[in-house]
Structure 1
Amino acid sequence: MITAPAAAELATRFEDTFGSAPDGVWQAPGRVNLIGEHTDYNEGFVLPFAIDKTARVAIKLRPGTTVRLLSTYGDQGLVTVDTAGLQPGSAKGWVTYPLGVIWALQERGINVPGMDLLLDSNVPLGAGLSSSHAIECAVISALNELTGAGLAAEEMVLTTQRAENHFVGAPTGIMDQSASLRGSKGHAVFLDCRDQSVQLVPFEAEESGLVLLVIDTKVSHSHADGGYASRRASCELGAQVLGVNALRDVGIDDLEEASGLLDEVTFRRVRHVVTENDRVLQTVELLTSDGPTHIGSLLDASHASMRDDFEISCTELDLAVDTARHSGAIGARMTGGGFGGSAIALTPVEREAEVRDAVVRAFADAGFAAPDIFTVTPADGARRLG
């Protein structure tokens, strides 16, 4: 978690850059999805949690429609935009995310004035930990307060989803924003993506002698590319052929009939979503009754389904998962949209060093770039820091 001095440092840097103090500093976390991949846009179930790595924004509103944006990382420099004519496709780079939020708020009829914005983030980029949604959630939390929009968390989730879908051009669901805006320390967020209802499920691995390792493979991915979109299209086709509103309405017992109605590839896409929804429900039940030491096999099954049925894994992710599992993790899976990014490994504390070392060696032996490996714990959602 960011400390008060760190928030003050960002405010000081803002003042040095823009010549006056910000109206405030807000933060929103990235997320790890414990289980439930590609189920969100199928109106299904997901179980993410907010992590202790965050995006932070210092913002000051100003008259007019000019927005000045600067990040503490990257080489884009100061970007100046007139939001009066803001349209999808008019931005590139990291500024697409805050500008998308401004655009989506404008689409809701909310008057968003000009502003200065300074971004700082320690959510790894391209690692499948939702660095983009962390930025969007920090920005919408700030603007919701500063403009007096009064949006509830559920409305902010849908507004940032609209920004992602129509401004950024990524056909994502509502999982990432929900975790970032509605997360709670020590809990995973059990989200029903059909009605946005949330149940906070205890997930305190350390109390059970476990750590959750994130293995960032360094294989970059983008939700705005064709792989994600094609998987979503397959799911929509499957729902259409099966005569349901969404794959949420297809149960395990329906799969045998579905296999005779769908082509082989579409069936496997559907089977992943249907079985993944069931795995989420089982995981929630086990976490509530028996604790995290009992969910390893479900994590393993989730990865196999993403690898074989949904085909969104890659060689590096498979190597990370297999090595972690063989070196002592009780369960492991890729997390995020796929085609790169990170894997997670639920690991006994006493085996952590062994798992870390084995994965690093395996990547070196395969000639892959060295992965980043770190632990995450469930953290609170978006909030104002000062």
Structure 2
Amino acid sequence: MFTTGELIERIRGGHFDAAFASLYCADAQGVTKQRARYIAAVEAFAELYGSAREVAVYSAPGRTEIGGNHTDHNNGIVMAAAVNLDIIAVVSQNEENVIRVKSKGFSAADTVDLADLAVHSNEQGRSSSLIRGVAARIKELGGQIGGFDAYTTSDVLRGSGLSSSAAFEVVIGAVLNGEYNNFRFTPVEIAQISQYAENVYFGKPSGLMDQTASSVGSAITIDFKDPQHPVVEEVAFDLSTYGLSLCITDTKGSHADLTDDYAAIRSEMESVAAFFGKKVLREVEEAEFFANIATVRAKTGDRAVLRAIHFFADCHRAEALRDAVRAGDIARFEKLIIDGGHSSFEYNQNAYSIKHPVEQGVALGVALSQHVLGDTGAWRLQGGGFAGTIQAFVPQEKLSQYISTMEQTFGADSCYVLSVRNYGAVKVEETL
């Protein structure tokens, strides 16, 4: 452990360069950028809490979904990858049994008294509820909790579909795991703790994909048939081998007013499962579902049926995407990506919100991607949908044109060229 001043000197002296290169898939210019970012974060911590404090730095990445759109919350199968955008937390333990988190860009700090771990209904939708929920769940599972002061800064776009909320939950879990539990909880357990906080304390009925991809890292498939013991498989995937770049474009829509839209997808899928006496769609036999569609639609409505069709097909696609990557069949991979995008748009119906029909940035981004890429590469909406980001796998020869088209439409710096990050949530010193 180092004081803030000592840590800054070590960062300036290059002691963290190898970690930065690994975590951010960074060249020399990227390493220099991370040095400045980390130094600024440590300086901000020192200004808030004092320069004599001993500190550690934790990081949790954002994620991009590759396949299995909105299948995780019904115990389906997904393919996802951590990306080289993250939230970092500069942290120092305190003896007050209070967690304070000041996040860059927010005027007030979140303060949670660990003597009170009950659900606070007036906290729902706020980051303080996530802090309280993570701490409560760790304690409930027999872990230790304690106070700390933290300053966080994130380049995971809020409301973008890269899961900034999951990265926040996971980094809080990682801090408590590292500072008070000697890393006794596995990455998957930290993901489950984070999901609990989001579901029960924050009030959002999310699945487990976002948290798992952030906590575990790398490119992974996750089978949620048994959500208490999800099966996680890492998949080696180097896009540069195929001359492709992963582009995420922020279409500038916000997820802030879309909780009801997300909840409707889950509840409608579960209404179809309930028709068959099951809790989630993964428990329903696909053949039985298709044999009874006429009766199901009369009970649940057509949109629920279409969303169930999407669920079954996208679970199969997630496995097929994994197999295509393992076989090096990039043409098959690209076709599956496009097919999944069509299914999300047409059946799952999360390309835009019916509450705001004139705002269709995601749909426009998908249309422009198809226009630029034609019969090369692949494109789709990703994540929760309705607003936020789209994903494209862009051939190098079209990369400049693609970026230009996206940024002319959605604004400067709206198109990010990302890499798959091979680390999940970490204490940064541990990657040295």
TM-score in same-fold range (> 0.5): yes
For 1:85, which of 104, 111, 116 is the aligned residue? 116
For 2:189, which of 155, 162, 180 is the aligned residue? 155
- Work out whether 1:383 is the aligned partner of 2:383: no
The whole-number CA distance in structure 2 between the counterparts of 1:48 and 1:252 is 24
Q: How big is the shift at 1:42?
A: 1.1
Q: How big is the shift at 1:262?
A: 1.2
For 1:322, which of 350, 354, 367 is the aligned residue? 367
Bigger mean CA deviation after superposition, 242-251 or 328-337 = 242-251
What amino acid is the match of 2:275?
A: V
Determine the structure 1 residue equivalent to 2:390.
343
SS in 1 for 2:348: coil
Does the 8 A contact of 1:22 with 1:58 survive in 2? no
Q: How big is the shift at 1:359?
A: 3.2
Question: Kindly tell me: are residues 360 and 154 of structure 1, through their superposed partners in 2, closer, same or farther at Cα, counting changes over 3 Å?
Answer: closer
SS in 1 for 2:84: strand
- Work out whether 1:51 is the aligned partner of 2:83: yes
The whole-number CA distance in structure 2 between the counterparts of 1:336 and 1:371 is 20
Q: How big is the shift at 1:360?
A: 3.8
The whole-number CA distance in structure 1 between the counterparts of 2:406 and 2:39 is 38
For 1:168, which of 202, 218, 237 is the aligned residue? 202
Does the 8 A contact of 1:208 with 1:291 survive in 2? no
Q: How big is the shift at 1:93?
A: 4.0
Question: Kindly tell me: are residues 266 and 15 of structure 1, through their superposed partners in 2, closer, same or farther at Cα, counting changes over 3 Å?
Answer: same
Determine the structure 2 residue equivalent to 1:232.
266
Does the 8 A contact of 2:406 with 2:414 survive in 1? no
What amino acid is the match of 2:428?
A: L
- Work out whether 1:297 is the aligned partner of 2:330: no
The whole-number CA distance in structure 2 between the counterparts of 1:183 and 1:253 is 35
Q: Cα deviation per residue 1:287-320 (whole Å; 9 max; x = unaligned)?
A: 1112434312211221211112111112211111
- Work out whether 1:189 is the aligned partner of 2:220: yes
Question: Kindly tell me: are residues 168 and 224 of structure 1, through their superposed partners in 2, closer, same or farther at Cα, counting changes over 3 Å?
Answer: farther
For 1:260, which of 294, 306, 312 is the aligned residue? 294
Runs of at least 5 residues in structure 2 that lack an aligned partner in the other structure: 1-22, 25-30, 353-359
Determine the structure 2 residue equivalent to 1:71.
103
The whole-number CA distance in structure 2 between the counterparts of 1:344 and 1:21 is 41
Determine the structure 2 residue equivalent to 1:356.
403
Calculate the TM-score normalised by the size of structure 1. 0.90
The whole-number CA distance in structure 2 between the counterparts of 1:325 and 1:171 is 32
Q: How big is the shift at 1:252?
A: 5.2
SS in 2 for 1:167: helix
Q: How big is the shift at 1:321?
A: 1.1
For 1:10, which of 41, 57, 72 is the aligned residue? 41
Q: CA RMSD in A?
A: 2.2
Does the 8 A contact of 2:244 with 2:377 survive in 1? no
Number of corresponding residues: 377
SS in 1 for 2:394: strand
Does the 8 A contact of 2:258 with 2:386 survive in 1? no
Calculate the TM-score normalised by the size of structure 2. 0.81
Does the 8 A contact of 2:133 with 2:201 survive in 1? yes
For 1:246, which of 260, 269, 280 is the aligned residue? 280
Runs of at least 5 residues in structure 1 that lack an aligned partner in the other structure: none
The whole-number CA distance in structure 1 between the counterparts of 2:295 and 2:135 is 44
Q: How big is the shift at 1:176?
A: 0.8
Q: How big is the shift at 1:104?
A: 2.7
Q: How big is the shift at 1:167?
A: 0.8
The whole-number CA distance in structure 2 between the counterparts of 1:130 and 1:292 is 26
